């Protein structure tokens, strides 16, 4: 029987003294204010037992991790029609690259790079009555936690500086792959990225991807075939041009964000979230990746 708490304690003891932690993202000015010393891990197992170390209860900007949640809602509404507008191949490119988009006629490689997530945002803006409110209450329902909210300061900060995302959205619009106006779609996208959640809340919301589509309260949000597809996308595309490295080091489907969060899961076994704001050169949390590598190595639990 694996003692998850002991394992997390060991990892924390080993890593919390490390001072080389990468750099906190500054291209969204509001994210630069975050204390780079923060470090937390929260793990929830298949029986709903949870284990924590460090700053696991402190909320932070989940950024690109939100792309999995918007994809999940859009997929459950639109089903396979979604794949007419966005691909399922890893990009091998940084999250905000535009070159492939032009080469491939406005069909983004996958829903977890920015251009793909902007198409998904457009789908939700078309499908939901009150997109921002409805998306937030979807997340609150899955976690049974009404304290989860957007961070308007972060959303505004990204809107003021999100020139590449404007470029992506305009390019998509020029190819006819955005139905609504660019401003409305990006307003939704910047808000979804600004969601503030703790490691504990993230592990709770991603629990459904390790639990065959059912949340902690046992309500079904996705069928098992949809879960399979989303987990496959996380594995192949969740870390941009470092997806191969993450599979190699950690061996779990997962998703990172430039706020320094990472969520990863082993179907039917556990779901884990880490937070350390310092990023490596590819935009993934440096300490978070190390912690997850240790977790799967120490426990011998990975999809491989």
Window 101 to 120, contacts with ligand GLN (CB under 6 A): 114
Among 7, 91, 96, 143, binds ligand GLN (CB under 6 A): 96
The residue annotated as part of the active site, out of 240, 255, 276, 302, is 240
Q: Are 271 and 47 in contact (CB under 8 A)?
A: no
Cβ neighbourhood burial of 111 (10 Å; 0-12, 13-18, 19+): buried
141 classed as catalytic: no
Residue 8 in contact with ligand GLN, rule: CB under 6 A: no
The residue annotated as part of the active site, out of 24, 125, 258, 263, is 258
The residue annotated as part of the active site, out of 51, 150, 189, 221, is 189
Strand partners, 278: 24
Strand partners, 292: none
Q: Which H or E run contains 139?
A: helix 131-143
Residue 63 in contact with ligand GLN, rule: CB under 6 A: yes
27 classed as catalytic: no
Place of tokens 């990009």: 91
State the binding string over 21-50 for ligand GLN (x if CB under 6 A, else -).
------------------------------
In the complex, the smallest distance separating the C-beta of residue 192 from ligand GLN, rounded to whole angstroms, is 9
The residue annotated as part of the active site, out of 38, 67, 159, 200, is 67
* Rounded Cα gap, residues 21 and 110, in angstroms: 29
150 classed as catalytic: no
Q: Are 255 and 289 in contact (CB under 8 A)?
A: no
Q: Which is nearer to ligand GLN, 158 or 242 (CB)?
A: 158
Q: Are 169 and 118 in contact (CB under 8 A)?
A: yes
Alpha helices in 162-299 (DSSP H): 163-174, 182-194, 199-210, 224-237, 243-249, 286-299
In the complex, the smallest distance separating the C-beta of residue 104 from ligand GLN, rounded to whole angstroms, is 19
Would you name the residues annotated as active-site residues?
64, 67, 189, 240, 258
Footprint of ligand GLN (CB under 6 A):
63-64, 95-96, 114, 158, 165, 193, 257-258, 283
């Amino acid at each position: 029987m694996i003692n998850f708490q002991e394992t997390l304690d060991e990892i924390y003891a080993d890593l919390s003294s490390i001072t080389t932690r990468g750099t906190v993202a500054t291209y969204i000015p509001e994210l630069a204010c975050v204390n780079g010393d923060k470090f937390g891990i929260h793990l929830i197992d298949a029986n709903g037992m949870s284990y924590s170390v460090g700053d696991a209860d402190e909320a932070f900007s989940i950024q690109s991790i939100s792309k999995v949640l918007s994809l999940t809602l859009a997929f459950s509404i639109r089903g396979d029609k979604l794949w007419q507008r966005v691909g399922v191949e890893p990009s091998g490119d940084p999250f905000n690259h535009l070159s492939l988009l032009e080469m491939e006629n406005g069909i983004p490689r996958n829903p977890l790079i920015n251009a793909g997530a902007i198409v998904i945002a457009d789908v939700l803006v078309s499908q939901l009555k009150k997109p921002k409110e409805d998306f937030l209450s979807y997340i609150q329902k899955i976690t049974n936690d009404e304290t989860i909210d957007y961070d308007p300061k972060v959303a505004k900060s990204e809107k003021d500086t999100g020139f590449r995302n404007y470029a992506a959205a305009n390019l998509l619009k020029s190819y006819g792959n955005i139905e609504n106006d660019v401003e409305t779609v990006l307003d939704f996208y910047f808000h979804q990225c600004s969601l503030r959640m703790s490691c504990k809340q993230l592990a709770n919301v991603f629990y459904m991807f390790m639990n065959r589509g059912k949340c902690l309260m046992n309500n079904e949000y996705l069928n098992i075939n949809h879960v399979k597809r989303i987990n496959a996308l996380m594995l192949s595309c969740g870390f941009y041009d470092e997806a191969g490295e993450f599979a190699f080091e950690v061996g779990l489907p997962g998703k990172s964000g430039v706020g320094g969060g990472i969520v990863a899961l082993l179907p039917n076994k556990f779901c884990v979230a880490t937070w350390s704001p310092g990023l490596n050169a590819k935009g993934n949390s440096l300490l978070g990746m190390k912690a997850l590598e240790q977790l799967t190595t120490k426990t011998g639990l990975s999809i491989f």
